[in-house]
């Protein structure tokens, strides 16, 4: 076997060479959300009463059909809202008690990753918290 053929064989055996093996990884794409399911698309944000359990909407596609991983959080982080499971596409989120400043908003953030280097971040519309009606 010639020296160049031996070198190519070694690269392929080690998985370092590629001969027509797939193309580059495509980043996941958010096609709907992240937002509370059924919430109107109104400027200025959304208002929810404390204690309300909100179903979140998120639809993601991945051209490579990679497994998708999710990580939900809220900003500011210390507001007290609770996700049913921050690692699924469509958790519920329980609205916390009103913030000290009634004009301060909360944003729900989702990080979407395909496990092959494709990462993107989505953010909900601004959320305002209303005191619970007696």
Give residue 44's Cα distance to chain centre: 22
User: Is the per-residue pLDDT at 109 higher than 90?
Assistant: yes
Choice between 90 and 37, residue whose per-residue pLDDT is larger: 90
Looking at residues 7-26, what average pLDDT do you find? 48
> 9 and 39 in contact (C-beta within 8 Å)?
no
The rounded distance, in Å, linking the Cα atoms of 38 and 56 is 9
Q: Is the pTM of this model over 0.85?
A: no
What's the pLDDT score for residue 41? 65
Interval 20-77: pLDDT, tens: 356 799 999 999 989 998 887 667 899 999 999 999 999 999 999 999 999 999 999 9
Q: Which fold has domain 50-130?
A: Immunoglobulin-like (2.60.40)
Domain spans, the chain: 50-130
For 122: left if phi > 0, alpha if psi spans -120 to 50, otherwise beta; the answer is beta
């Amino acid at each position: 076997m010639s020296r160049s053929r031996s070198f190519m064989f070694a690269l392929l055996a080690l998985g370092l060479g590629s001969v027509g093996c797939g193309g580059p990884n495509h980043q996941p794409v958010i096609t709907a959300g992240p937002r509370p399911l059924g919430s109107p698309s109104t400027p200025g944000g959304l208002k929810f009463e404390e204690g309300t359990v909100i179903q979140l909407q998120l639809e993601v596609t991945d051209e490579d059909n990679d497994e998708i991983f999710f990580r939900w959080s809220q900003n500011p982080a210390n507001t007290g809202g609770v996700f049913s499971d921050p690692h699924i596409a469509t958790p519920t989120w329980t609205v916390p008690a009103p913030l000290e400043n009634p004009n301060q908003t909360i944003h729900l953030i989702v990080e979407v990753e395909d496990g092959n280097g494709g990462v993107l971040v989505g953010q909900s519309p601004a959320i305002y918290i209303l005191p619970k009606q007696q």
